[in-house]
Amino acid sequence: MNNFYVLHHLIKEMHETCTGFSFKFSVSPHKNVWEGYLEDDYKKYRLIFSANRSETTLFLDQFRASGNSNITTFFNELTNRKIISIELAANDRYISIHFSDGYILLFQVFGNKPNIFLIRENVIRESFKSPGVFTGTIPPEPRTGRASSSKPDASLIPKKQILAIDPKFPRHLIPKIIEEYNLDKKKPDEIQSLIHTSVSAMLETPQFRILDDGNLCLLPQHILPAENLEVFEDVNSAVRFAYYKTSGERRFSARLQSIKPKIESRILKLESLMAQLQQADKGLERAETYEQYGHILMAHAHISIDGELQVLELPNYYNNDEPVDIPIERGLSIAENAQKYYEKSAKAIRNVEESVKRVEETGSQLADLKTMERSLNKITKSYEFDNWLKEHKNKLLSLSVLTSKTGGMSTPYRKLQLDGYDIWLGRNAKSNDKLTTDAHKEDVWMHARGVSGSHLVIRMNNQKEMPPKSVLLKAAAIAAWNSKARGAGLVPVSITKRKYVTKPRGAPPGTVRLQQEGVEMVEPAEFKG
């Protein structure tokens, strides 16, 4: 979805469509997804950017009202500024949207950390991801591009020859081209001619095809006769289709994987338990041996024995009086040792009886789980999974596949309401990390100074000012209560903006460094929501 040739056509289409539109606002409705709302006097669009590295893309979608009025907004400096132009870097996947008054929204549509940067006067004023890292820094520069090879090296494998001819050639199409034209047996000149023809077609006569593997292809059917899933008139429609298909499949796969491994693990545990329980016959053999030892000992209860003796040799009248060594406990009489063996025999019999009951119960659980596993493996749609989970949730809870927490999908940190402000409160060190990472740069961050405890964030909806002093003090008291200093009279609490909080490289979970801070002395107070 984000290869250079797709972006080449996409940006031309966006420039023609969106020039003159005004930026209204932008939000992040899901993790790693940004939506910018654009409009003119006649139309409205959503500009959608996915920063998920497995499906990085940018496209226009139909307008849809933002569902959450309290959601954090981004790039508010662009509000009501008009789009002047939309451009793609000459040799790199950087997209620049130029606005009035010298503002630029730069989209980095590649790599492990795709991002958006708001730039003015060659300084990053805000970023979608990691604002504390990028704000105030120089924006990234597009690569100058690697020169194409006029004569590919015949010693290279076809894939490397293709990339030498055109470093921007779509990676996902290379295996298909190699297979279709049997390039392993072609000469470099033939490979070069094919790639030049393919690049020319992608630039001048593209077809916007979604192949049956879900990938977007610009090569016309006569050059790459692969099976099509859909064919579109314009590139934006193709990108939008491919994104929703890919992201939907990813989310669906993630939901399946939240259950399937747990079912598989539980089945393995129950099968192991069944194997143990089915050894119950050995328990009966032990019970019989223990009872015989008890009888043999009682038949010789009148004999005096050395108090330090640990093994007693006696005739076994269950085996033609052959001598048998019976382990005994030191300090106990023969009769007392006999009683111990009777107790062991009774216990072994009880264990066998319990095992028989558990075999039936465990077998029933195994049968239920395997039936659910088979039905889960047949599911191909998200709504089918929803129905399946609704039908089997109680059974999964009873079989310990789900817990009440996983069934209820608990959040990584607590979410509170304090005098109209949304508050996030960490649960543990990992939760503190997640909370701080998720917070916006203008959110207020606090933590009891000098002791371990929960990080706390006051959500500011991108507002640069601080909340009222009364809110700060109440929140600080909550942070103090949720720390090791709870029992103290007055506790110093560090208060700063999230943009001044950084995590040292390689530091343990929950460890942060503050670039600047204020401190308030407060009495710890439990949240009374």
pLDDT digits (tens, 9 = 90+) for 300-329: 888 888 878 889 999 998 999 899 999 999
Nearest to 300 by CA among 270, 326, 262, 331: 326
Tokens (6 digits) for 112: 């492990």
Region class of 101: left (phi > 0), else alpha (psi between -120 and 50), else beta: left
Contact assessment for residue 110 and residue 95, using Cβ atoms and an 8 Å cutoff: no
- Helices 158-165 and 188-204 pack at an angle, to 10 degrees, of 50
Tokens (6 digits) for 355: 């095992």
Strands 456-458 and 501-502: unpaired
| Per-residue CA distances from 63 to 13, 236, 451 (Å) | 17, 15, 48
Tokens (6 digits) for 454: 């929960």
Tokens (6 digits) for 53: 């590295």
Q: Which long-range contacts (CB under 8 A, 24 or more apart) does 327-331 make?
A: 328/297, 331/307
255: buried, middle or exposed (CB in 10 Å: 19+, 13-18, 0-12)?
A: middle
Nearest to 519 by CA among 439, 442, 447: 447
pLDDT score recorded for residue 407: 45
DSSP letter (8 states) at residue 256: H
Element (H, E) at 458: strand 456-458
State the Cα–Cα distance between residues 367 and 360, nearest whole angstrom.
Answer: 11
> Taking the CB of residue 357, how many other CB atoms lie within 10 A of it?
11
Tokens (6 digits) for 346: 């009774």
DSSP letter (8 states) at residue 82: B
pLDDT score recorded for residue 145: 64
Helices (H), 120-173: 131-134, 158-165
DSSP string, 433-446: HHHHHHS-TTSEEE
State the Cα–Cα distance between residues 233 and 208, nearest whole angstrom.
Answer: 7
Which position has the token pair 């002047």? 84
Which parts of the chain register pLDDT below 70? 66-71, 145-150, 250, 280-281, 403-411, 529
CA dihedral 258, 264, 267, 272 (to 10 degrees): -130
Identity at 307, one-letter amino acid code: G
> Taking the CB of residue 475, how many other CB atoms lie within 10 A of it?
27
| Secondary structure of residue 15 in the 3-state scheme | helix
How many residues are there in the chain? 529
State the Cα–Cα distance between residues 97 and 118, nearest whole angstrom.
Answer: 10
What's the CATH number of domain 4-134, 3.40.605.10, 3.40.50.720, 2.30.310.10, 2.60.120.10?
Answer: 2.30.310.10
Nearest to 309 by CA among 330, 294, 292, 288: 330
State the Cα–Cα distance between residues 446 and 432, nearest whole angstrom.
Answer: 11
Contact assessment for residue 218 and residue 200, using Cβ atoms and an 8 Å cutoff: no
Element (H, E) at 341: helix 334-377
Identity at 486, one-letter amino acid code: R
- Helices 188-204 and 4-18 pack at an angle, to 10 degrees, of 10
| Secondary structure of residue 178 in the 3-state scheme | helix
> Taking the CB of residue 394, how many other CB atoms lie within 10 A of it?
11
pLDDT score recorded for residue 404: 55
Nearest to 209 by CA among 220, 201, 200, 199: 220
Contacts of 181 (CB under 8 A, 6+ apart): 194
Which position has the token pair 């034209």? 181
Contact assessment for residue 399 and residue 368, using Cβ atoms and an 8 Å cutoff: yes
Bridge partners, residue 62, by sequence: 45
pLDDT score recorded for residue 374: 92
- Please give the sequence-ordered ranges of beta strands (E in DSSP) within 212-343, or none if there are none: 216-217, 228-232, 311-316, 322-327
